[in-house]
Structure 1
């Protein structure tokens, strides 16, 4: 596996960097591809060349990156408009916004301590995955795992809030 990594890493990174244009994100995508390759090595059946398979993996990881980025931006826009409109909102709307914030805080409080800290650093303090990993002295992958699991729990527990946000807009 190490030989495969050394032989293909640069090509995978270059392909990701050309599509993304951000070195850190391209490195993350490259790392994720090789981790996935390692984790799925027993079930993996490459029909063409391994290089072609890896470049296909880059294509799909980049698509997923842009898709999740678009979803985050859409949610940020909705919540930013809610915050901007907060001062102009009716008393009922302000009360609903306050209750929504309370619900979000309660849902965060139910997360395991480390996961809550990682989510808070990522979303509220807007720190990068690498910054969080460095500050907490944990691996980048552990940070990503905490964010993924935490956001999944929050989405499940707070799915009704997006409906309320829709009603407010």
Structure 2
């Protein structure tokens, strides 16, 4: 389709949903500077802001079939950028806290060993998440990895908000039970990443 200024954003989103790269380019060119600027204000790092901005638009394109469901493009992009930044910074905070904990409790081990321990612990958490019942797992991951609200998850899963809340509470309880043998502080650090 030839893109011109007469198309409104709703029409552009309809075209993006069908895979129209020109429509995507219009949205990208219009909002890239604002998304990058907002990410820079929050992240305070040009490299991170650029990385986040690229990921926001990459995700928009990768899930283009859902573009027609976006009500407000600007709000959608800014919320996506905010959630990605929060997740990225939370993960860094958790890793730093874990390293500090490890250095305090086992000062004779190297940084590489700490990284390996952290990766193993994180893998155990991921395995525990994979063992959750399918609906609990889906609700949990939509909330924690994609940053969706209970209302958005309820709509996506076609269940009530209360059922979403119940799934997430049960998922949390199962994860705590599955990982009970690990140091409570380490578990809290790892779970914090998923609950930011």
For normalisation by structure 1, the TM-score amounts to 0.51
Matched residue, 2:28: 5
TM-fit CA distance, 1:156: 2.2
Give 3-state SS (helix, strand or coil) of 2:182's partner. Answer: helix
Q: How do 1:9-158 and structure 2 match up within 5 A?
A: 9-44=32-67, 45-48=69-72, 50-84=73-107, 86=108, 101=113, 104=116, 151=119, 155-156=122-123
- Structure 2 unaligned blocks of 5 or more: 1-23, 127-178, 187-196
Over aligned residue pairs, what C-alpha RMSD do you find?
3.3
- Structure 1 unaligned blocks of 5 or more: 87-96, 106-122, 124-150
Structure 1 runs, 4 residues or longer, greater than 4 Å off? 157-160, 164-167
Following the alignment from structure 1 to structure 2, what is the Cα–Cα distance between the partners of residues 165 and 54? 36
Relative to its length, the structure with more helix (as a share) is: 1
Native 8 Å contact 1:12 1:54 kept in 2: yes
Give 3-state SS (helix, strand or coil) of 2:64's partner. Answer: coil
Following the alignment from structure 1 to structure 2, what is the Cα–Cα distance between the partners of residues 51 and 166? 39
How many residue pairs are counted as aligned between the two chains?
105
Following the alignment from structure 1 to structure 2, what is the Cα–Cα distance between the partners of residues 158 and 46? 32
For normalisation by structure 2, the TM-score amounts to 0.45
